[in-house]
A and B are shown apart, each in its own frame.
Chain A
Amino acid sequence: MTGAEFSGVDIDLLADYIGGALEGTPDESAVATLIAEDPAWREAFETLGGQISSVRAELGRLEAEPMPADVAARLDGLFSAPPLTLVKGDPGAPTATSTVSGRRRKWVTPIAIAAGFIAFVGFGVDYLSGRTASQTDTASTAADGSAESAISMAGETILVTGTDYTRATLAITPAQPLAAAPSSGDTSAFGESDAHRQDRATAQEPALVRLSARAALEECFRMIERDNAGGVISVQTVDYARFEGAPALIVRFSANNGAWAWAVGPGCGTPMSGADAIDKVPVR
């Protein structure tokens, strides 16, 4: 059967009538009149009415399929995972073997990002200002096997002000340093007290938990660098905060196109969200 057998009948209008979409409109009585007086409309009404009922019943019988386990696990990892610790040897820290298997290729996890970051460090690409070749070598060695080692290479200051920024205040430098990274050449991991403070950072803004992982942060920087299109960026501060009420990472950096403050969302660094930029202002 095709719609052609209802020649002269407006199938959509008839469907609207059957589905109750014309109730209370002038069209309702007009269609009722057509059905009463026009044999083609009457036949179409009788035939289509029954078929539509069958379609509804068949749609209702479609099997419900629960979310696949791999997808559910991914969401658990995104929204319920404990903050990635920065302390060496933490038994709760996820490992590549426990998290990578079974993941779909398009899903980028903090661990996958960590792996990418380690590889990225290995190639000697440098996001941070003032890095020398020898320091990169040291960092590459430190990154062997542990993402937390990479954290010590960062030159930016990590802040957890919890400030609710607006466009007007975005460019104002905050004053609460949480954990300034070790000076260049120091490849030791964060001390325990620093890790605790990092935990507080994610406790304050749970939406930003993914970005508490160094590798995810670096991926975020990479997306910002790409979107900024001003060459290599040198990040000065990262603030786990809010922007106009929503959890946001405030990244202050300089590049060839000047100094900037960007507010980025929790999706920063993910393939789908890119930099997830919410707002950006130049810093003068």
Chain B
Amino acid sequence: MTSGDATSSDADLLRAHVDGDRDAFGELVRRHRDRLWAVALRTIGDREEAADAVQDALLSAHRNAARFRGDSAVTTWLHRIVVNACLDRIRRRQAHPTVPLPDGSRSDDRPSGVEPAAPVTDHETALLVRQALADLPADQRAAIVLVDVQGYPVAEAAEILEVAVGTIKSRCARGRARMALALGELRGRDTGHPPAGNQDAAETVPSGPGAAQPRTGGHDGRDQR
């Protein structure tokens, strides 16, 4: 097998790389880079950060290929490394907040909103959806990017993020609910119409630590490994 062989499986290519084929890893990257990029960009939300995260992740994968045990698909493994690189960067950003730019576009966790504009059709909706997605907590955003944006099955997303299937379901569900509420708010703001509901109440949805206590007993946020 050679790395130029289009019929080579991902596992073949990774094995060839470990065995010394200097082109094999590059071929593997070419196969999957668009999807890895899409996940990184949507998760971290900033082009430069996404590019750096993908590069870091692939360098790590390149270096540690020999340690890949084949417990999961190669693409799952690559996605895991890329998503973790993104989440690491988000966490670093939270730990060391940057000085906000004059336009205030950068927050600690949220993407900086420098993604290119969507096509003119559905432009506003796409912008609002991106904004609502960007405002989610990072773990919910990563789950939603994998499942709802990229279309990965919940089980594969759970494998990529190394959490239980139930955790992915919960993160997606809560994230979607947050987005639904936020989109209503954003649309109301954009149209100049005040959103419905009690304006004196808090505008954020309770979620995660500090969230309102559920009315049923034993609910622990469903975040489980």
Contacts and interface: CB of A to CB of B under 8 A. Distances in A.
Indicate, yes or no, whether A interacts with B: yes
Interface of A: 1-5, 7, 10-16, 18-22, 26-27, 30-31, 34, 48, 51-52, 54-56, 58-68, 71-72, 74-76, 78-80, 83, 104, 106-107, 202-207, 209, 242, 245-248, 265-267, 270, 272-273, 276
A264 to B, nearest CB: 10
Given A67-B33, A104-B51, A11 B197 contact: no
B176 A19 contact: yes
B59 A266 contact: yes
B198 to A, nearest CB: 4
Interface stretch (B73-81, B96-104, B106-114, B166-174): B166-174
A284 B47 CA distance: 47
B130 A273 contact: no
Contacts of A66: 34, 37
B201 interface: yes
Pick the 8 closest A-B CB pairs, nearest first: A19-B173, A80-B26, A4-B201, A5-B197, A1-B184, A206-B22, A15-B177, A51-B180
B17 A15 contact: no
Contacts of A4: 197-203
B216 A2 contact: no
Nearest to A30: B216
Contacts of B205: 3, 11-12
8 contacts: A5-B197, A10-B215, A54-B180, A63-B119, A68-B37, A75-B58, A246-B63, A247-B66
Given A22-B222, A56-B148, A270-B59, A79 B206 contact: no
A1 B55 contact: no
B133 interface: yes
Interface string B186-211: 00100000011111111111110001
B20 A206 contact: yes
B17 A206 contact: yes
Contact of A64 (B38, B58, B115, B215): B38
A21 B205 CA distance: 18
A273 B214 CA distance: 44
A122 B166 CA distance: 59
Interface-central residue, A11, A266, A270, by most chain B CB under 10 Å: A11
Contacts of B130: 62
B203 A209 contact: no
A75 B184 contact: no
Nearest to B172: A19
A70 B67 CA distance: 30
B62 A266 contact: yes
Contacts of B129: 55, 58-59, 62
B63 A267 contact: yes
B63 A207 contact: yes
A267 B60 CA distance: 8
A2 B185 contact: yes
Given A15-B174, A16-B170, 14 more contacts: A2-B185, A3-B197, A10-B214, A11-B206, A26-B216, A27-B218, A51-B184, A52-B173, A58-B183, A63-B126, A64-B34, A79-B62, A107-B55, A273-B59
A128 B46 CA distance: 40
A21 B158 CA distance: 13
B118 interface: yes
A232 B84 CA distance: 35
B65 interface: yes
B52 A272 contact: yes
A54 B176 CA distance: 9
Given A2-B201, A62-B129, A80-B23, A75 B29 contact: yes
Contacts of A30: 216-217
B116 interface: yes
Given A7-B201, A62-B149, A79 B25 contact: yes
A160 B149 CA distance: 46
Contacts of B202: 2-4
Contacts of B27: 80
A71 B37 contact: yes
Nearest to A56: B148
Given A4-B201, A5-B196, A62-B126, A55 B216 contact: no
A21 B52 contact: no
Contacts of B26: 75-76, 79-80
